[in-house]
């Protein structure tokens, strides 16, 4: 296992990128400071499954959301190393769509991997609606931009968009405190990543 930390400026915003190299399945949180719970889920699921993990956080100021496809243009050695090492990416994001507060959307270019990852989510977290049909995923959450890091690894990947209730167990966020994602969601993601590893879809 190798670990690498880096501070990088993206569009005038300072980020901390934390990379842990393990297997060729990669877990990614591009907006770990803005989309609460995604960083914590990446760290936990990666540790449980032996996956590589890359988490971006913002150590200073109010978190800013920079679109994923623009993050890939940053001069970030950690991201370049992640993309060269990993064959299949699972990128965790958070959404706040008021019309879909219980929906987990699985986008990204690798549709077979999305279906494999979606099965344990549907089974183990039945309180949420797991959506893998691209036609039913809002355009802005489909994760299909070819410059999005989730699609830049050899086998592409899966963009997992989690509603607030699927990524934090606290109704109100305490600034600077780590989130506590629901146990069932962490378990389902770990099971799904394990299946992706076993089936070698990457």
CA 114 to chain centre: 13
The answer to which of 51-60, 64-73, 169-178, 192-201 has the lowest mean pLDDT is: 169-178
CB 27 within 8 A of CB 52: yes
Query: How many CA atoms lie within 13 Å of 69's alpha carbon, on the beta-carbon side?
Result: 9
C-alpha span between 160 and 139 (Å, rounded)? 14
pLDDT in tens, 129-165: 999 999 999 999 999 999 999 999 999 999 999 999 9
The SS3 of residue 8 is: strand
Residue 124 has pLDDT above 80, yes or no: yes
Q: Check whether 110 has a pLDDT greater than 70.
A: yes
The predicted pLDDT at position 3 comes to 83
User: What is the chain's alpha carbon radius of gyration, rounded to the nearest angstrom?
Assistant: 15
- Averaged pLDDT score across all residues of the chain: 93
State how far the Cα of 117 lies from the Cα of 111, in Å rounded to an integer: 10
Sequence-distant (≥ 6) Cβ neighbours of residue 202 within 8 angstroms: 24, 25, 86, 87, 88, 113, 153, 154, 155, 196
pLDDT in tens, 9-47: 999 999 999 999 999 999 999 999 999 999 999 999 999
CA dihedral 47, 70, 86, 54 (to 10 degrees): -20
> What is the distance between the alpha carbons of residues 43 and 193, in angstroms, rounded to a whole number?
13
Ordered structural domains, the chain, with CATH: 2-199 (3.40.630.100)
């Amino acid at each position: 296992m190798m670990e690498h930390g880096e501070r990088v400026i993206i569009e005038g915003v300072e980020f901390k990128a934390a990379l842990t190299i393990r297997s060729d399945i990669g877990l990614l949180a591009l907006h770990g400071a803005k989309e609460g719970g995604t960083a914590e889920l990446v760290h936990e699921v990666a540790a449980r499954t032996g996956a590589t993990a890359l988490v971006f956080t913002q150590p200073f100021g109010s978190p800013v959301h920079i679109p994923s496809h623009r993050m890939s243009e940053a001069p970030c050695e950690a991201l370049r190393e992640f993309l060269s090492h990993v064959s299949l990416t699972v990128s965790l994001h958070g959404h706040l769509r008021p019309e879909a507060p219980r929906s987990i959307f699985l986008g990204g270019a690798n549709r077979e991997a999305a279906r494999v990852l979606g099965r344990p989510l549907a089974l183990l977290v039945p309180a949420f609606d797991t959506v893998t049909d691209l036609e039913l995923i809002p355009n802005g959450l489909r994760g299909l931009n070819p410059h999005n890091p989730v699609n830049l690894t050899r086998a592409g990947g899966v963009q997992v968009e989690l509603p607030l209730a699927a990524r934090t167990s606290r109704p109100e966020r305490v600034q600077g405190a780590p989130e506590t994602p629901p146990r069932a969601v962490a378990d389902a993601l770990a099971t799904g990543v394990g299946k992706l590893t076993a089936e070698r879809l990457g």
